[in-house]
Amino acid sequence: MTAPFPATPRVLTDIALEIDPDEALRFQGYQKGRDVPDAAVRALFDEALALGRRLMAPRAVVRWAPVARGDRDTLAAGGVALAIPTIGESWGAVEHVVAGVCTIGDALERRVAELWAARELPLAMMLDSVGSGAVESLAEYVNDALCQEGLAHGLRVTNRISPGYAGWDVTQQRELFRLCPGDAVGVTLNAACFMAPVKSISLLAGAGREARVDNYFSQCARCWMPACAYRRAPAARTVHR
């Protein structure tokens, strides 16, 4: 299938991100539906959320590439070989991959460091959790946007995966960055494969007419696209402002 997508990295603009409060509070140890923060925690969260919204600058770069070769544990695309255990079973037949690098920038983490230095520890920790929740929400937002791009070409887009998780070796960050360099959004990779700014997420999704989707959770349940004809599950929450 001819690639219907631009072959070069593309920066997503106009990201109207909403931070999922459940995602941010999860980093404080609160589990949705089980733990309810008290009034003091809620007030601290609201303060950190307002601060975080002012400090974060969400941006993302993505790149689609046709799959040249795929088997049970490997996908070759865009001149790189991605070694991902059992990816052939997880995603089924995919004709394209799309890599992305998302970040909220470094202003929030710099403010967290200042708060630590000033011994304002509760706010420092809560702001750090807000930043972690924000970048997770951003990655979900990008996954949704890629799903819409795939649907426009009759392709089903899988849930995202990232190096360092679910058996995918973290050193594969280098291959992912070769496929989709993060410099367009100011994200760099160090020798240990950690990204800077810290509140960044790299991701990979697959796309194909027969791709397996929703095999570990339903992306649709938190997708912001209200009138999607392909919705597979009711929307439970949104990451779109």
Q: Do 208 and 94 contact (CB within 8 A), yes or no?
A: yes
13 vs 238: CA distance, rounded Å = 19
Give 80 or 213: the residue with its C-beta nearer to ligand SF4: 213
- List the one residue from 228, 237, 238, 240 that touches ligand SF4 (CB under 6 A): 228
- List the one residue from 55, 126, 220, 239 that touches ligand SF4 (CB under 6 A): 220
Contact letters (x/-) for ligand SF4, 116-145, by CB under 6 A?
----------------------------x-
65 scored as a contact of ligand SF4 (CB under 6 A):
no
Q: How far is the CB of 231 from ligand SF4 (least distance, A)?
A: 4
219 scored as a contact of ligand SF4 (CB under 6 A):
yes
User: What is the full DSSP assignment across 13-24?
Assistant: ----B---HHHH
Residue range at the interface with ligand SF4 (CB under 6 A); choices 94-102, 165-173, 183-191, 219-227: 219-227
- ∠182-85-102 over CA atoms, to 5°? 20
225 scored as a contact of ligand SF4 (CB under 6 A):
yes
Tell me, what amino acid is at 95?
E
Burial readout 170-207 (b: 16 or more C-beta within 10 A, e: otherwise): eebbebbbebbbbebbbbebeeebebebbbbbbbbbbb
- ∠149-183-7 over CA atoms, to 5°? 40
Give 174 or 231: the residue with its C-beta nearer to ligand SF4: 231
231 scored as a contact of ligand SF4 (CB under 6 A):
yes
User: What is the full DSSP assignment across 191-204?
Assistant: TTS-EESSSEEEEE
- List the one residue from 148, 171, 188, 215 that touches ligand SF4 (CB under 6 A): 148
| Local structure of residue 172 (DSSP, 8 states) | G
Give 184 or 235: the residue with its C-beta nearer to ligand SF4: 235
Task: Give contact residues for ligand SF4 (rule: CB under 6 A).
Answer: 144, 147-148, 219-220, 223, 225, 228, 230-232
